[in-house]
Amino acid sequence: MRQQYARRTQLIIAIMGFVAFAIIFQMVRIQNSSQAPDFLGLGDGFQYEWKTVFPDRGEIYDRNGHLLAGNKTVYEITVDLNTVKSPETIASTLSRELGSDYAMVLDQIQNPDPGIVSVTVANPVDQQDGLRLVELTNNDVTGDLRGLNFIKHPKRSYPENSLASNVIGYVNGDGLGYFGVEEKYNNILAGNAVPVAVPVDPNKVSEIPHIPNGTTLILTLNRDLQASAEKILDDAISKYGATRGTIVIMDPQTGELLTMASTRRMNLNQIWDYGSTFDNASDYNPAISIPYEPGSVLKILTMAAALDSGTVTPGTTYMDTGVIYVGGVPIQNWDRNPWGIQDMTGCLQHSLNVCMATLSTSMGATTFYSYMDKFGLGHLTGVDMGGEAAGRLKIPGDGDWYPVDLGTNAFGQGVAVTPIQIMTAASAIANHGNSVTPHVLYATVRHERQYKSDAVFSGSPISAQTADTLNEMLANSLEFEGSMALVEGYRIAGKTGTAQIPGEYETDATNASFIGWGPVDDPKFMIYVWLERPTASIWGSETAAPVFAQMAEKTILLLNIPPDSVRKQIAQQ
């Protein structure tokens, strides 16, 4: 009896093992079969096929919730060459409804490449136009539109057109981000494609599982401030006859980029204009991609190094004779005149080249270049946009470095930097010795949860005491000068820059710049202005400085920053 039960048990186990093996074999066959499409039954009487579903790309907003980049539904219209009845009617309909070229559409249908069974005759087509064509096809009683097929898919849309285009970047036809935020964060914006079982029966299409969209980005940009910056910049280019320019606004305490405006810009909904708008990739966002000789704005870094190293104090004086020889080469002031006895504030106020060369040679090459390196010159800042350039800081030992460079580098000649590098370095002066990493990502949104990005400090090139001392010196130098960069009711620290164009060094071809921040006691904004080849005046003090003042006034208004007197009264309460 026991043997009989044992045999039955063994038989049952064998049957169950066979069934389990068959199930596993079938699962593996379905998932790995090379035949397409793969069909499977899920027990509900319907068939399904495996398809890869791509999520919608994540949206991009400014810090106040304005949509900068989103998605819209468009159609790809194809013709099934095996079922088409009247190519002439299809070509005529597309010509009438979409403005397509009749002859071209007809040729695509009648003369396809060998082996082609379907041709795309229009893509992308706006949703409204696509739905109208779908309705025409559904109501076609003659069958002359037979063969037309409509494939819906998302397309990147930029509701602000060219606004902040240099920062945002764009998405090409293959769904890849180019430049700016679209390139830097392409992977998380695009999301993850997922293989899913899709009903073959179109009546069951509602059963397609939902695929999470790509990550949504919230930027540090202020949309209204960005629009104002672009308007002010465009007006300045026209007023001063410059070839191009840049205005960047950053919070020097956090590194948040509030505005980054450059010329030229393009409508992001018309990416085919890229080639006619830009000469090369570096033109897309000059603020991060084009290194140039900044001129006297770099003097603030030389002075910071001299103060921090103990080479001078604010009250140190020297006799300016109008010339100094470095490496056997004479270096003169911008006006080629002597300025007599000057202290360090006077050095900054009058922007004296001889003074800066005196400081750098007194420090020596090792100390001077060590500070420039700590300030980040010649290094990427890490700003979170595609296309950043590192610039160039020559140092002793390089084949093209000469002793005179120690003098000229001190006032921004022979050094190649980007505006964003100067701002990163200057943030240490405005921020008690701590430099920040500039960034445009404020937060990400994923699965309905927001994750805020934290400020990142990139180093402490100078002490807090040095930074605070220099901050006051720069504010005083602007006030003593009566600079055109001053803003009524607010103390501003900053420096002009006028640099001859490298390779030409002609007196009438310059880069005019100004960097400034305020309020001095608690900086909420740092603004960098760069105008290339202004013709109305070659001097940064007469071009870039007034543009800074105009931009600062608008920034103060939009950020609602109270005047210094009001803030002091509030602090005393």
What Cα–Cα distance (Å) separates residue 75 from each residue in 10, 123, 131, 159? 61, 6, 9, 19
Q: Which amino acid is at 412?
A: G
CA distance 495 to 520: 13
| HSE toward the beta carbon, residue 279, CA cutoff 13 A | 5
Q: Say what the pLDDT of residue 198 is.
A: 59
pLDDT confidence of residue 127: 86
Which residues sit opposite 48 in a β-bridge? 40, 199
Find where tokens 């209204």 sit: 224
Closest to 85 (Cα-Cα) out of 151, 132, 148 = 148
Tell me the two tokens of residue 234: 């465009």
- Where helices occur in 79-144 by DSSP H, the ranges are 87-98, 102-110, 127-138
Q: What is the DSSP letter of 386?
A: B
CA distance 502 to 500: 6
Query: Cis bond leading into 294, ω under 30°?
Result: no
Task: Tell me the pLDDT tens digit for each residue of 434-470.
Answer: 999 999 999 999 888 888 888 888 899 999 999 999 9
How would DSSP label each residue in 23-73? Answer: HHHHHHHHHH--SSS-EEE-SSS-EEEEEEEPPPPPPEE-TTS-EEEEEEE
Three-state secondary structure call for residue 85: coil
3-state secondary structure (DSSP) of residue 153: strand
In sequence order, the β-bridge partners of residue 317 are: 343
CA distance 385 to 288: 8
d(Cα 570, Cα 573) in Å, to the nearest integer? 5
pLDDT for the residue numbered 10:
63
Q: Is the dihedral of CA 107, 113, 118, 121 positive or negative?
A: negative
Q: Which of 395, 410, 398, 392 is nearest to 326 (CA)?
A: 410
| pLDDT at residue number 231 | 98
CA distance 423 to 418: 9
Predicted local distance difference test score (pLDDT) of residue 409: 97
DSSP string computed for 393-457: ---BTBTT--TTHHHHGGGTSS-BB-HHHHHHHHHHHHTTT-EE--B-EEEEEETTEEEEPPP-E
| Phi/psi of residue 283, nearest 5 degrees | -75, -15
> Where would I find the H helices in 141-264?
165-168, 180-184, 186-190, 223-240
Which domains are present in the chain?
2-52 (no CATH), 71-159 (3.90.1310.10), 223-572 (3.40.710.10)
Tell me the C-alpha to C-alpha distance, in Å, between residue 117 and each of 37, 130, 421.
17, 22, 55
Sign of CA dihedral 229, 230, 235, 240: positive
Q: What is the sign, positive or negative, of the torsion defined by CA atoms of 343, 530, 280, 57? A: positive
pLDDT at 126: 87
Residue 332, amino acid: Q
Quick: pLDDT tens for 189-228. 988 777 766 555 544 545 556 677 889 999 999 999 999 9
Residue 508's contacts (CB-CB under 8 Å, 6 or more residues apart) are 538
Quote the CA–CA distance of 561 and 535 in Å, as a whole number.
34
pLDDT at 38: 47
Regions of the chain with pLDDT less than 50: 1-2, 33-40, 42, 202-203, 205
